[in-house]
Amino acid sequence: MAYTALAKMRKKNLKEYGVNIGPREPDLYRAGNRNSLKCASLRFLHNACEGLKFDASIEAEEDKSGVYQGTSLKPGQIPYNMQMDINRLCLEKSLEKFIDSGTAEDAYMVYYSYLEIFLGHYGKSKKMIELLAEFESNGSSLLMKHRDHYSHSVYVFALGLAVYETNSRYRSAFEKYITEKEQTSFSSSELANIFLEYWGMTSLFHDIGYPFELPFEQVMSYFEVNKQKRGKDHPFLAYKDIDTLTGFDRDEAAHFKKLYGKKFRSCSELFAHDITEKLGSEYGFSEDYILNIIRSKPTYPEKFGHFMDHAVFSSIRLYRELVSSLGADNITGLHVDALTAIILHNSMYKFTIAFYKDPVKKKSPLKAGLHPLAYLLMLCDELQCWDRTAYGRNSRTELHPMDADFDFSDNAISAVYHYDKSEKDKIDAFEAEYSKWEKEGMQGSAPRLKAYSDMADDGKRFVSDIDSIIDTSIIPLTAKPDLKPVNRKNKRIFLSSSSFLHLYDFAVALNGRKMSPDTPLSVIEDRFEALSLEYQLSSINRARNFSLYLDAIGCFYTDRPVDYEMVTSFNREQAAIIAPLEHERWIREHRTMGWSYGTLYEEVGNAENKNTLREQMRCHKLAMDGTLSTNGIYNHYLALPEAERSKDWKPFNTMLKLLKKYDGLRIYVYRFGR
């Protein structure tokens, strides 16, 4: 059993009660090609990451005292390691749901799970990830070229997990690097858990510096509308006083001197040192050279073709978040590996170290063993070009892949990128123009159709560019384009204005619905954050489905003033629509999370401990066994007592009163006659 703490509790329950009641083994996604992106990435989380965040000392103390230290619905209900197993399951199932939909809201759930598991507190870090999504959705339409980086980063995360799971050559390079760096040996599951933590940090946050790049690009776009050359004879932005972000205080300086044996005055100096230690001798540059590059990118963008490098800000911003969440004393060399992988990924490695497009200065592609996280980030960042919302004015009219299929078999990557079949006229026009260019002697530059031509033309520019950046001898890569009809049903897009701030606030309000409307928000949030990750995500998922429920009754929510009838409470007719939908969500969620039907906790428990036994057995009297269908779940709902049925809609009524405290959210009717 991959979830060993759940198995241990199952054996304990069987021994104590003589019934094989649970917890049951969570299901692993297995459909289709086992080396597809979805199968491989989920298999890694399910099987390879055994014992993630387990604590042997806490387990020993629990066995000795008989008192559990894990949190489920309440503290102390389950063993600590069982909570850690459930946390990993939350991450696995959140990623599974995201890969199915690709929506930013489901990407949010992956971020949330990762932050809770590895940084310990989503509330402290939420601004870091919400800011990027808010900037992109609100400000990027002013740019000429810009595509989503929020969902993109979660796809990059999944790609890296699939590579580690399926590619023994990359896995060996990573394991050799970690073993030598830490000067100790690790089990395969320990190495997988190290990879998950630091690859997650690298991939999920590699683009969080975009809020610094977007204002720069907005000014550029103002002039580029008239097709002026970038940066020529017009103003541009630059950032000064960067030391206020990068500078070390006394404690930080002391910690890194102890860690590296050298005094640093800023994280810029730390990054320059680490990059030089890894790549300096291979590529022939000094620490002073790379430090000057790091310092100059924000302050003198004219030296870099009038481009602002978000990667520098991503590293700085993430470093500050780590100091805030973990404390400087807990930042290790592995954290620095993630930070320098991020700072290298965009343009620094390509144009100032490897010079990959310069025929004179060009250096060899990056080998995985030199910096495994940077290597994988550059690979996956290039591969992830599908299903990205286009925000920029030009980007919205360009042809980009809407979907992709991957096969990670045989230590290689085979990718098929799917383009919208309805855009075939653009492809036909490009192919005619390309054929004409060939027949006329291939004079001048070849015609291009954005990503499609890079995958379809004879030179296979898409693959050759990646080959020029990283050494793909350990991961041979092929890519080709294909056409198919677009299908957006899985995204379930509704009229309600989606906001990640709203998702969190909805969830907090739902959990605090029984508290007085005068209760301070900080108290309501503290109560929510005292829940286990599983119960927090359940509340967020309920909030996530709220737009679906509102659409079903002809309503929507927004924080903008609109001329529609406002809803202050749901009536019985509306409740009759909402409640079965919420019941179906609850049933399917519990099945996904490994719960089963059962009443043993009520039969052997008493008023004081029956709820605790329910959490330990992971069975529930309202859950369903067998095949789940919408009709079957609806009939199950109808068979419930009225008191149970009301639980599926009354919380939303109470929530409406609390939402007035959050961002001015209101609910309106848009469909009349309901």
The whole-angstrom separation of Cα 436 and Cα 443 is 11
Strand order in the sheet with 413-420: 403-407, 413-420, 477-484
CA quadruple 385, 96, 512, 562: dihedral sign: positive
The whole-angstrom separation of Cα 595 and Cα 667 is 33
Query: Is 394's pLDDT higher than 50?
Result: no
Strands 477-484 and 666-669: unpaired
For the record, the structure tokens of 571 come out as 């009536």
Task: State mean pLDDT over 658-667.
Answer: 65
Can you give the pLDDT at residue 485? Answer: 83
Query: Is 125's pLDDT higher than 70?
Result: no
The whole-angstrom separation of Cα 442 and Cα 300 is 38
Q: What is the DSSP letter of 369?
A: T
Q: Is the pTM of this model over 0.85?
A: yes
Query: Is 495's pLDDT higher than 80?
Result: no
Peptide bond into 476 cis (omega under 30): no
Task: State mean pLDDT over 89-96.
Answer: 97
For the record, the structure tokens of 623 come out as 């859950």
Can you give the pLDDT at residue 144? Answer: 42
Q: Which of 110, 117, 105, 107 is nearest to 92 (CA)?
A: 110
**SS3 category, 530:** coil
Q: 78: which strand partners?
A: 70
Tens-digit pLDDT profile for residues 228-244: 677 677 788 889 989 99
Can you give the pLDDT at residue 395? Answer: 42
Region label for 82, one of left (φ > 0), alpha (ψ between -120 and 50) or beta (otherwise):
alpha
Give the rounded distance of the alpha carbon of 539 from its chain centre: 19
Helix or strand holding residue 78 (H, E)? strand 75-78
Amino acid at site 287: E
Cβ contact 37:159 at 8 Å = yes
The whole-angstrom separation of Cα 18 and Cα 229 is 77
Can you give the pLDDT at residue 302? Answer: 87
Tens-digit pLDDT profile for residues 508-522: 877 877 777 778 878
Can you give the pLDDT at residue 532? Answer: 94
The whole-angstrom separation of Cα 51 and Cα 69 is 16
Q: 266: which strand partners?
A: 247
**SS3 category, 347:** coil
Q: 596: which strand partners?
A: 619
For the record, the structure tokens of 341 come out as 């992988």
The whole-angstrom separation of Cα 160 and Cα 374 is 11
Contacts of 316 (CB under 8 A, 6+ apart): 209, 242, 245, 246, 267, 268
Q: Give the length of the chain.
A: 674
To the nearest 10°, report the CA torsion of 555, 561, 562, 568.
40
Query: Residue 572, Cβ neighbours under 10 Å: how many?
Result: 7
Residue predicted with more confidence, 535 or 142: 535
* Cα–Cα distance list, 560 to 15, 132, 139, 494, 668 (Å): 58, 21, 17, 16, 11
Find where tokens 């590895």 sit: 118
Q: How confident is the model at residue 402 (pLDDT cuts 50, 70, 90)?
A: confident
The whole-angstrom separation of Cα 87 and Cα 193 is 13
Q: Which of 275, 667, 644, 617 is nearest to 496 (CA)?
A: 667
Query: Is 393's pLDDT higher than 50?
Result: no
Burial, 366: exposed, middle or buried (Cβ in 10 Å; 0-12, 13-18, 19+)? buried
Cβ contact 244:352 at 8 Å = no
Can you give the pLDDT at residue 391? Answer: 45
DSSP letters, 567-589, are ESS--HHHHHHHHHHHHHHHHHH
Can you give the pLDDT at residue 16? Answer: 94
Cβ contact 175:191 at 8 Å = yes
Cβ contact 528:507 at 8 Å = yes
Query: Is 616's pLDDT higher than 90?
Result: yes
The whole-angstrom separation of Cα 110 and Cα 178 is 25
Tens-digit pLDDT profile for residues 405-438: 999 999 999 999 998 888 888 877 877 887 777 6
Measured in degrees and rounded to the nearest 5, phi and psi for residue 567 equal: -100, 125
Query: Is 660's pLDDT higher than 70?
Result: no
The whole-angstrom separation of Cα 146 and Cα 224 is 14
Tens-digit pLDDT profile for residues 246-277: 999 999 999 999 999 999 999 999 999 999 99
Residue predicted with more confidence, 502 or 566: 566
Measured in degrees and rounded to the nearest 5, phi and psi for residue 266 equal: -160, 165
Q: Write out 602-658 in H/E/C secondary structure.
A: HHHCCCCCHHHHHHHHCEECCCCCCCCCHHHHHHHHHCCCHHHHHCCCHHHHHHHHH
Query: Is 200's pLDDT higher than 80?
Result: yes
Query: Is 441's pLDDT higher than 80?
Result: no
Q: What is the DSSP letter of 390?
A: B
Burial, 13: exposed, middle or buried (Cβ in 10 Å; 0-12, 13-18, 19+)? buried
Task: State mean pLDDT over 100-116.
Answer: 89
Mean of the per-residue pLDDT values for the chain?
Answer: 87
Q: Write out 27-77 in H/E/C secondary structure.
A: CCCCCCCCCCHHHHHHHHHHHHCCCCCCCHHHHHHHHHHCCCCEECCCEEE
Give the rounded distance of the alpha carbon of 54 from its chain centre: 23
